[in-house]
Amino acid sequence: MQISQLKNERTVVITRIFGAPRSRVFAAWTKAEHLVRWWGPKGFTAHSCVSDPRPGGVFQVCMRSPKGQDYWVRGMYREVVAPERLVITCSAYDEKDIARLEEVINVTFAEHGGKTEVTLNTTAGGPSAEAAAMLGGMQKGWAQSVERLDLHLAPKS
């Protein structure tokens, strides 16, 4: 997995090759029954998910921390080109329903001989002064989510 943070320090890029066909990886990014199995950092669970993968469609996930704290991510699909590309806008909310971080998530899916290269390019901003301080956590959280996605896509024995 390659992870980089661009000069503007508000963009994180992660590239990873998954041992699954593109259609399966794309489904893992767009179907609620898959998203709840991998979305969120290590130790978190996703107990609620709505995914309507079409331009203007709703995207919503509620992650629960190991301490029982709920964190909502809500937004919409801006672009859906199955199985090649997704653009999702979303905001992360705290327990007081205050948006703490806004992201524009661009995901591309390229098939390579039955495997899929995914490039996640996410740019963060937000209304709060703490948004910049949260970027390191965002990079770590995405890296852990991608690891969880890899486990979800691994063949079951």
What domains can be seen in the chain, in order of their start residue? 2-153 (3.30.530.20)
Would you say the C-alpha torsion 61, 155, 2, 114 has a positive or negative sign? Answer: negative
User: Cα–Cα distance between 6 and 121 in angstroms, integer?
Assistant: 10
Residue 37, class by beta-carbon neighbours within 10 Å (0-12 exposed, 13-18 middle, 19+ buried)?
middle
User: Cα–Cα distance between 140 and 40 in angstroms, integer?
Assistant: 10
Tally DSSP H helices, then E strands, for the chain: 3, 8
pTM: 0.89
- Strands of the sheet containing 85-93, edge to edge, are 2-5, 11-18, 115-125, 99-112, 85-93, 70-81, 58-64, 45-51
Cα torsion 130, 131, 137, 143 to 10°: value is 180
DSSP character for 130? G
Pairing type for strands 45-51 and 115-125 reads: unpaired
Cα torsion 93, 94, 96, 100 to 10°: value is -60
Per-residue pLDDT of the chain (157 residues; tens, 9 = 90+): 665 554 456 788 999 999 999 999 999 999 999 999 999 999 999 999 999 999 999 999 999 999 999 989 999 999 999 999 999 999 888 777 777 778 899 999 999 999 999 999 988 875 555 555 666 677 888 999 999 999 999 987 6
